[in-house]
Structure 1
Amino acid sequence: MLVAGAAVALLALVPLVYVATYVVIIGPADLWQLLARPRIAELLRNTVTLAIACMAATAALGVSLGLLVERTDLPGRRLWHGLLVAPLAVPAFVNGYAWVSLDRSVHGFTGAFTVVTLSYYPLVYLPVVAMLRRLDPALEESAWSLGHSRARTFRTVVLPQLRPALLGGALLVGLHLLAEFGALSLLRFPTFTTAIYDQYGSTFNGAAATAMAVVLVLLCLVLLLAELRLRGDRRYARLGRGAARGAVPLALGRWRWPLVGVVGAVVVLALGIPAFSLLRWLVVGTSTEFPVAELAEALVATIALALAGAVATTLAAIPVVWLAVRHRGWASTVIERSTYVANALPGIVVGLALVVASLRLVPAIYQTAALLVAAYVILFLPRAVVTVRAGLEQAPTVLDDVAHSLGTGPLATARRVTLPLIAPSLGAGAALVFLAISTELTATLMLSPIGTHTLATEFWSASSELRYGAAAPYALLLVLVSIPATVLLMRSDSPATTTERVPV
């Protein structure tokens, strides 16, 4: 496991090595001149402000919605759960396209904050719901028996148990936002990522772009250290005898229908606006066309690449998570943290790093699907790591000990005991990676074999030319392709059902 985890970490660190090498070539004096500019200060302010605001908003929204769906008698909880997960099927740049194409005034910080929050809150909501389902209500009942109010019980008992899911989801949001390009470009909100693309695309200034990539790496390290500090080294698996009971839903009383309205408003903003915009442009767009051959080719390529990338990324996450949870130590921590660094870098930096590495080390894989899948593993490994870790954190180690006492070896124990317990988390991680790969733009443009086109690249080509009608069919297919993975996530984390209620 240590060898496998180290190999995954080395792959994930290839972009960082590329950036560090380029920095050495530039030299500290020139690097400082590139960074000590008013433009860098503006980009830093925009990036940090948006990241903090969106992480806080998605965390609050994800926890609040998770509690409503999982722990209350909200009418139609299963339906709301599905609708709240469904925004994962709408890529952030499609969401941005929907808002901008309907109202050009949606731009700047407000537009970026709204679109990113509505696109990414399921990354917090899903792991929170998963942990709430597995949380033994006896812990809360013990607090109530000691005279604690529900608010104090939530703050001192429930929230600490949600820490891995909450921090992991918020970390994913922050890392994705650091590397987000499509939505922020459409919404005209400059960050380091959009500036890096501008440098490479218009002025071909590799030194300036690499200097900004260094800042992104530093911001990523700050996020990783903060999450590591807040997470601590607590264990969250249940140790008591027997099986945990399902929680009894809390009766909302007179707050029921107002809260239904709040949840409905989130669904309308996250799903209704994109759906209306796509249907509108399909009907009234002057550039709307349905090139069946091109659509079919892009659809097949998207599904094939997303499936291959999802399987490879989930398999790569297993040794990393296993070491981080079951064999804690400085080596395990370094390996796990290493997998997050590249996620903060734009796809174009990861693509350039792999181009250079492949040409110098393994020329045979240049412009092959294998190199593109490797890029997907580097870019989206944190999605799988966070999701699988949330499941393994709650898999009791005592079951492994029992299997060992019966003479079962480590590999057989993992296959017959632990992997079945974390199977839902593995499926959820693969689904999240599939969704991310199907909408990836820049690394696909740079590394895909000649003649390979995906739905995301074809959509971007049309939307960047303001041909909204021509982009709509590709956006619609992107949503349809994402539906099966979203359904898998819904089933793996569907809320528990019970007819019992307790008063507020």
Structure 2
Amino acid sequence: MRSRGSAAAPLLLYLPPGLIALAMLVPLGYLVLRTLEADPTHLAELIWRGRSRVLLGNTLQLTGAVVAGTTAIALPLAWLVTRTDLPGTRMITTAAVLPLAVPGYVMAYALLGLGGQNGLAASLGVPLQRLSGLGGAAAALTLYAFPYTFLNLRSAFLSLDPGLEEAARSLGYSPWQVFLRVTLPLITPGLIAGALIVSIYTLGDFGAVALMRFEVFSFAIYTQYTSAFDRSYAAALALMLMALTALPLALEARVLKNSHLARVGSGVSRRPRQIPLGWKMPLALLFVAAVLASSVGLPALILLHWMRLQPPWAELPRVATAFGNSLSAAVPSALVAAAAALPLAYLRVRYPSRGSRAAERIAFTGYAVPPLALGLAMVFFSLRAVPALYQTRTLLILTYGLNFLALAMGPIRNSLMAAPRNLEEAARSLGRSRVAAFCLALFPLLRKGIFAALTLVFVMVMKELPLAVLLAPTGFTTLSTAVFSRTSEALLAEAAPYAAAIVLFSSLFVGLLVRSESPHNQEPSDASGKTTPREDLSRAPLSRETLPGNPL
């Protein structure tokens, strides 16, 4: 059914979404077929065996621990930088985003490098045992992922109407009661959006849990597949992980389904009263320093420590080769993702209907499916249907394109929504064909969105690990696989230059993101340089609909 007032889309425009749906769903179908090839009795035993229950328990424990840990860090940090007189909030906000430049497996490498006989702690005279298991995996993923929750909560705090809190205070509520009864319910969408992103990332993570030797579904899928003992069990585990990943999406939709949050209209909001910290200021600064030292300072110190013990100069040629391999996969993957996202976004924005919404949601499937499950599906599909694709760079690039297609759609869709429709109509009225009208009138307005999509996918591929581990051709070493393989063998000094290359490259990208905010998109600041909320309340919390387009 088409939306009221929308014209019917040309049938040819549904061809790219149809091909993308086939590319996305057919491999997942092969994953189901590979599972069903097992004897039904044997399959039931595999699913209900004790090890599967242990994997489920471990996966839920890790996800719960990471969501709790990221919330415990992000909630007070977001409140401090938006609602108090804490100095230097703009610099703190920038530093709090930097952990996104340190992938989970590099954060795990940093924690491993802290302990042990030759670790940083031992060199400082305080020997520590190396972290491992649930504690190590939860710590690594928490320190990497808390910026996702922080950014959502910061947006939620900046979107609040301070009049609601002031009205509660005028009724005699204490500050703590105001926070629990007024503020916390209003920032719930931001809190849930952050928890959703963190939980999906944790469920699909492979590098940190593998390095910390903590058996969850993703780690078990990899070991079961590489050992080749029972690949039907690996396929079954992948399907169970996919079902588990759907759980937070369903919970988020159910929780927010009937929520109605008060919000003032544009132009009515005013600057909230900054809460003086007083004698609590040293405690707040100590908390901020501890968070930033653990998430940003620790990886940097660990990398410097290991490169001091073993200078990286002899390894630099191999680092350059790995960087070139990563580059050779990232550039075409970004082009594939952007080329596929453009017709999908155009169909969704210009011809809204049930069909276009379905095409968009199919595109989001690759982003929601855990990478190891998607990679395993591609392995089974290529072996059965197109053996020539197995362990080729072409298959790796196509899978990257499908995996990050939803991320590429975000900037392109936003550019399309901002482009006036009458430009194309004017071009058509001058006798231009539909394609010529698009190229001449609309495409120039989409260049920034397309460039943002290309950049986003490019950087995500440069540091991606699970798909590279499963699908990369033999001998094709990327920066991420070099870090993982060397750290897995306890060669921490050898892994340091590769990890440093990833961190430096990703830090540059995060820095560009922070600086790319134009003045009209930044919060105004007072004379002290402290940021204050925008008057138009345009920074709304992320929701499930905006999640796939979130550049971070």
| TM score, norm. by length of structure 1 | 0.80
Quote the RMSD (CA, aligned, Å).
4.4
CA contact (8 A) 2:366 2:405 kept: no
Change (3 A) 1:52 1:446: closer
AA partner of residue 242 (structure 2): V
1:42 aligned onto 2:54: yes
CA contact (8 A) 1:89 1:435 kept: no
1:19-418 matches, within 5 Å, as 19-103=31-115, 104-130=129-155, 135=159, 139-141=161-163, 144=166, 147=170, 165-232=190-257, 240=265, 247-248=271-272, 250-254=274-278, 255-285=280-310, 290-310=314-334, 312-313=336-337, 335=359, 338-339=362-363, 341-342=365-366, 347-358=371-382, 367-381=391-405
Name the one with the larger helix percent: 1
- In the TM superposition, what is the alpha-carbon distance from 1:43 to its structure 2 partner? 0.9
Whole-angstrom distance in 2 between the partners of 1:262 and 1:118: 14
1:344-366 CA-partner distances (Å, limit 9, x unpaired): 65544423422443465566755
- In the TM superposition, what is the alpha-carbon distance from 1:466 to its structure 2 partner? 1.4
CA contact (8 A) 1:107 1:187 kept: yes
- Structure 2: segments with no counterpart, 5+ residues: 1-8, 116-128, 428-436, 533-552
1:300-344 CA-partner distances (Å, limit 9, x unpaired): 332343344345446656777788899888666655554555556
CA contact (8 A) 1:172 1:382 kept: no
Change (3 A) 1:370 1:268: same
What percentage of aligned pairs have identical amino acids?
32
AA partner of residue 484 (structure 1): L
- In the TM superposition, what is the alpha-carbon distance from 1:192 to its structure 2 partner? 1.0
- In the TM superposition, what is the alpha-carbon distance from 1:439 to its structure 2 partner? 2.2
Whole-angstrom distance in 2 between the partners of 1:89 and 1:131: 23
Task: Tell me what 1:452 maps to.
Answer: 476
CA contact (8 A) 2:242 2:370 kept: no
AA partner of residue 283 (structure 1): R
Whole-angstrom distance in 1 between the partners of 2:355 and 2:176: 39
Change (3 A) 1:120 1:491: same
Whole-angstrom distance in 2 between the partners of 1:157 and 1:216: 37
Q: Secondary structure at the match of 1:75?
A: coil
- In the TM superposition, what is the alpha-carbon distance from 1:8 to its structure 2 partner? 4.3
Whole-angstrom distance in 2 between the partners of 1:383 and 1:405: 27
- Structure 1: segments with no counterpart, 5+ residues: none
CA contact (8 A) 2:326 2:479 kept: yes
Change (3 A) 1:297 1:405: closer
Change (3 A) 1:311 1:40: same
CA contact (8 A) 1:281 1:288 kept: no
Whole-angstrom distance in 2 between the partners of 1:325 and 1:131: 26
- In the TM superposition, what is the alpha-carbon distance from 1:40 to its structure 2 partner? 1.1
- Report the number of matched residues: 488
Change (3 A) 1:175 1:145: closer
Change (3 A) 1:375 1:234: farther
Change (3 A) 1:311 1:79: farther
Task: Tell me what 1:481 maps to.
Answer: 505
Change (3 A) 1:245 1:217: same
Whole-angstrom distance in 2 between the partners of 1:408 and 1:140: 45
- In the TM superposition, what is the alpha-carbon distance from 1:441 to its structure 2 partner? 2.5
1:443 aligned onto 2:467: yes
Whole-angstrom distance in 2 between the partners of 1:170 and 1:77: 23
1:106-161 CA-partner distances (Å, limit 9, x unpaired): 1222222111111111222234445655x3x6x33366357576767766776666
CA contact (8 A) 2:341 2:408 kept: yes
Whole-angstrom distance in 1 between the partners of 2:21 and 2:315: 42
CA contact (8 A) 1:111 1:187 kept: yes
Change (3 A) 1:449 1:228: same
Whole-angstrom distance in 1 between the partners of 2:210 and 2:405: 24
Moved more, 472-481 or 155-164: 155-164
1:463-482 matches, within 5 Å, as 463-482=487-506
Moved more, 209-218 or 297-306: 297-306
AA partner of residue 101 (structure 1): G
CA contact (8 A) 2:162 2:272 kept: no
Q: Secondary structure at the match of 1:111?
A: helix
Change (3 A) 1:172 1:378: farther
Change (3 A) 1:85 1:193: same
AA partner of residue 252 (structure 1): P
AA partner of residue 398 (structure 2): A
Whole-angstrom distance in 2 between the partners of 1:143 and 1:403: 41
Change (3 A) 1:327 1:168: farther
CA contact (8 A) 1:53 1:113 kept: yes
CA contact (8 A) 1:246 1:496 kept: no
CA contact (8 A) 1:69 1:495 kept: no
CA contact (8 A) 2:27 2:381 kept: no
CA contact (8 A) 1:351 1:443 kept: yes
Whole-angstrom distance in 2 between the partners of 1:338 and 1:439: 25
- In the TM superposition, what is the alpha-carbon distance from 1:97 to its structure 2 partner? 1.2
1:356-409 CA-partner distances (Å, limit 9, x unpaired): 434655667555544322222333456567x769x96xx998x88x97699779
Whole-angstrom distance in 1 between the partners of 2:155 and 2:349: 18
Whole-angstrom distance in 2 between the partners of 1:7 and 1:158: 46
1:174-227 CA-partner distances (Å, limit 9, x unpaired): 222112121112212110111112212224310121121121011012122112
Whole-angstrom distance in 2 between the partners of 1:155 and 1:415: 48
Moved more, 42-51 or 339-348: 339-348
Whole-angstrom distance in 2 between the partners of 1:11 and 1:128: 36
Change (3 A) 1:490 1:66: farther
Change (3 A) 1:442 1:432: same
- In the TM superposition, what is the alpha-carbon distance from 1:297 to its structure 2 partner? 1.8
Change (3 A) 1:319 1:46: farther
CA contact (8 A) 2:525 2:531 kept: no
